[in-house]
Copies of this chain bind each other. A is one copy, B any other.
């Protein structure tokens, strides 16, 4: 007999059926036992009445992997409106011990460090699983959104010869006896590849040796990068960033509907025109409202991002707001300045529900601008030789952006710690599982 998944059980009512999965828990009543089986699709209730089977399942630890043959019967109370009667159980794998996480609870009660220590088990919980189904669906939507605009997917090296963003926060490794580094972003390579394909994206790990233990930083995370050429300026980049996020929301809606419902996620509407506010203007708004002196600071603090998130919701009915016109001083050397105001950058952040989700902007594209920018920072051009080739031999005006996948899912699911939306987080203190 062909196995069916638990969410197909109700379509089998009246017939013989085979399920497979894990025994999540057992409820013993006076004359029968309910066994709850969990598989990839969800839960099913199995009703045991005969003595031999009751004795058999009484021996089985939670998470025992079984195959169950029985009759599919309508049952209003059961998940999906169907349950299995007259079951026979075949054990496929016996656990060596009872699980350290109480997976039977509708919501897990363990603290985050425990859940992370036992991630291989905790992730089996339907609510844990759901966050990563939303991540996978969002990723598919991201790709679909950019594929539709003629982007080409690329894979670029994670072992690199020089730090990408700055010398700080970079992991060093031993590369056949030479020092090498883990890429902090695919920034240089995606720019180079604009010279090849004009529009590119990459989904891959990036590495930051973050010395701070915060709820929003990881030492390794999944970056959704895009870069495109032949732009007017950063505003063209903002339009594609908007479309990428809209694709992600649509991906979650279309491909992870059950997970979205289970977690009660409210998917955002991404406005065709996302509201945008100038950096200094934003600081003035914040200062006027909070009475705190912020104008003149070179960057936004997390509290300011939260304030702007609320402001965008209140004033524009939008979950999203672009901040533009960041000072050059805090932006990396490849950032293109505003031609009219050289101390202001042609870059932007996209704030989603009060958290920076995207950073992007226009990049320098002239070789001599790179030479000057590196000289101004006291850096040698030799260290950037491969990267600078792209500009030395001609590059169109271009720009791009990067989205942190874990942050996106955290904002959607309301997770307060980015570690909740990372399968196996890496941070200052955590290297396993």
Interface residues of chain A, those whose CB is within 8 Å of chain B, are 3, 20, 22, 39-40, 61, 63-65, 92-97, 99-100, 118-121, 123-124, 128-129, 132-133, 135-136, 139-140, 143, 147, 150, 152-162, 171-176, 178, 180, 182, 189, 192-193, 195-199, 203-205, 207, 209, 211, 219-220, 222, 230, 365-368, 385-387, 389-397, 405, 423-424, 426, 428, 431-433
A121/B159 contact (C-beta < 8 A), A63-B394, A92-B397, A230-B20 known? no
How many Å from the CB of A333 to the closest CB on chain B? 18
The 6 closest A-B pairs by CB, nearest first: A386-B433, A173-B173, A63-B394, A95-B394, A40-B198, A96-B367
A120 touches B205 (CB 8 A): no
A159 touches B39 (CB 8 A): no
Q: List 26 A-B contacts (CB under 8 A).
A: A20-B396, A40-B199, A61-B394, A93-B366, A93-B395, A93-B396, A95-B393, A96-B392, A99-B394, A118-B389, A120-B387, A121-B195, A129-B196, A132-B152, A155-B222, A156-B424, A157-B205, A158-B205, A161-B431, A172-B174, A173-B174, A173-B182, A175-B219, A175-B431, A178-B431, A204-B205
How many Å from the CB of A303 to the closest CB on chain B? 28
**Contacts of A394 on B, CB cut-off 8 Å?**
22, 61, 63-65, 93-95, 99
A425 — nearest CB in chain B belongs to which residue? B157
A385 touches B199 (CB 8 A): no
Give the copy number. 2
**Contacts of A220 on B, CB cut-off 8 Å?**
157-159
A65-B396, A140-B143, A386-B432 known; 16 other A-B pairs, CB under 8 Å?
A: A22-B394, A40-B150, A96-B368, A118-B389, A119-B386, A120-B195, A121-B390, A136-B153, A139-B153, A155-B405, A155-B423, A158-B207, A176-B209, A176-B219, A205-B205, A389-B433
Alpha-carbon gap, A230 to B153, bound state (A): 33
**Contacts of A395 on B, CB cut-off 8 Å?**
65, 93
B431 touches A180 (CB 8 A): yes
Alpha-carbon gap, A211 to B95, bound state (A): 40
Alpha-carbon gap, A366 to B154, bound state (A): 38
A140 touches B147 (CB 8 A): yes
- Residue A95 contacts which of B205, B207, B367 (CB distance < 8 angstroms)? B367
